[in-house]
C-alpha cells in the first residue's frame, strides 16, 4: 500500500469514527428524552457500548449544556442547552408559519418577491418566500445565505444585534459585490443607526446590479428582533425614488407579523 493510500484509509476511518460518535451522541439525547433520566450503565446498555464510551459521550454533552447530572443520584437528564436549541428552531418554525398570510398578501399587493430572513451566524438566511405576479421569473431566494452588509434584510438583522455582537461582525472585512456595496465600516455603521431610527433598511444594487430591496424588522413577544421581512425586485420596477414608500409599506407588514408573534400584547 502506498503512502497516499495509507493516508486516505486513515482519513476514512477517522471520518467514520466521527460520524459514529455524532450518531451515538444524538442517541444519548434521544434516550434521555424517552426515559427522563438514566445512569451511565443504563445508557451504555442502550447504546451497546462500554461504560467508558458512554461516560465520554455524556461528558462532551454536559460540557455543551445539553445534558446535566443529578449529583445526589448520579443520573443524567436533558440540560437547558436542549431548550435553547429547541427554542431557536421553534422561532424559525413559528415565524415562517405565521408569515405565510402576511407575505402572501404583500406579494399579491406589490407583485414582487417577499422574503423572511433570520440571522445565521454571519449571514441572513431566507426561510420563507412568496412571489407576486410580476416576479414569476425572479430567482429563488429560499434557503439562500446572503451577506449582512449588502442586503436590506441583513442590515436590519445586523442593526438590531447587541452592540458587542454588531461590532464584532463589523470588525471583519466587508466584501464588495458591486460598485454600490458599502465596504466602509464607518458608513455602514451610520446606515445601521439610521435603520434603527427609521424602522427599515434599503439596499440599492448592493448585492447584485439591477436588484433593489427594502426590509423591516420582525419582533418576538419580548421585543427582540428575530427576523426581517423584505421586498425585492428589479431596479426598473422598484425605482430608487419609490424605495422609501415601499419600505414604509413593508414595515407595516412586518409590524403585523410581529403582532402575530405576540409583540405588543
pLDDT tens digit sequence for 208-240: 999 999 999 999 888 999 999 999 999 999 999
pLDDT in tens, 46-104: 999 999 999 899 988 988 888 888 776 678 888 877 766 665 555 565 788 889 999 99
Query: Could you say which DSSP state residue 32 is in?
Result: H
Q: How far is CA 75 from CA 40, 41, 65, 69, in A?
A: 8, 10, 15, 6
- pLDDT(172) > 60: yes
The three grid cell numbers given for residue 131, joined into one nine-digit string: 412571489
CA–CA separation, 193 vs 158, rounded Å? 10
Q: How far apart (Å, rounded) are the C-alpha atoms in residues 251 and 89? A: 24
What is the pLDDT averaged over residues 5-29?
69
Residue 146 has pLDDT above 90, yes or no: yes
Report the alpha-carbon distance of residue 43 to residue 256 in Å, rounded.
Answer: 47
User: Which residues of 90-237 form beta strands (DSSP E)?
Assistant: 113-120, 123-130, 145-147, 201-204, 211-219, 225-234
What's the chain's average pLDDT? 86
pLDDT above 90: residue 33? no
Q: How far apart are the C-alpha atoms of 238 and 204, rounded to whole Å? A: 10
Amino acid at each position: 500500500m502506498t503512502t497516499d493510500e495509507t493516508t486516505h484509509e486513515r482519513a476514512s476511518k477517522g471520518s467514520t469514527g466521527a460520524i459514529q460518535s455524532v450518531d451515538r451522541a444524538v442517541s444519548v439525547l434521544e434516550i434521555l428524552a424517552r426515559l427522563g433520566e438514566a445512569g451511565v450503565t443504563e445508557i451504555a446498555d442502550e447504546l451497546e457500548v462500554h461504560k467508558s464510551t458512554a461516560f465520554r459521550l455524556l461528558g462532551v454533552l454536559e460540557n455543551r449544556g445539553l445534558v446535566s447530572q443529578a449529583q445526589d443520584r448520579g443520573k443524567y437528564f436533558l440540560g437547558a442547552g436542549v431548550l435553547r436549541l429547541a427554542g431557536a428552531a421553534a422561532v424559525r418554525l413559528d415565524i415562517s408559519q405565521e408569515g405565510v398570510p402576511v407575505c402572501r398578501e404583500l406579494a399579491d399587493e406589490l407583485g414582487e418577491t417577499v422574503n423572511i430572513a433570520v440571522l445565521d451566524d454571519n449571514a441572513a438566511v431566507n426561510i420563507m418566500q412568496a412571489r407576486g405576479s410580476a416576479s414569476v421569473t425572479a430567482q429563488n431566494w429560499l434557503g439562500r445565505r446572503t451577506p449582512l452588509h449588502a442586503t436590506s434584510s441583513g442590515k436590519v438583522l445586523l442593526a438590531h444585534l447587541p452592540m458587542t455582537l454588531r461590532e464584532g461582525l463589523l470588525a471583519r472585512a466587508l466584501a464588495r459585490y458591486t460598485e454600490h456595496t458599502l465596504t466602509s465600516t464607518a458608513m455602514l455603521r451610520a446606515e445601521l443607526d439610521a435603520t434603527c431610527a427609521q424602522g427599515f433598511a434599503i439596499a440599492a444594487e448592493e448585492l447584485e446590479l439591477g436588484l433593489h430591496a427594502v426590509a423591516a424588522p420582525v419582533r418576538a413577544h419580548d421585543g427582540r428582533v428575530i427576523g426581517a421581512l423584505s421586498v425585492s425586485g428589479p431596479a426598473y420596477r422598484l425605482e430608487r425614488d419609490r424605495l422609501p414608500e415601499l419600505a414604509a409599506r413593508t414595515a407595516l407588514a412586518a409590524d403585523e407579523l410581529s403582532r402575530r408573534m405576540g409583540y405588543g400584547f
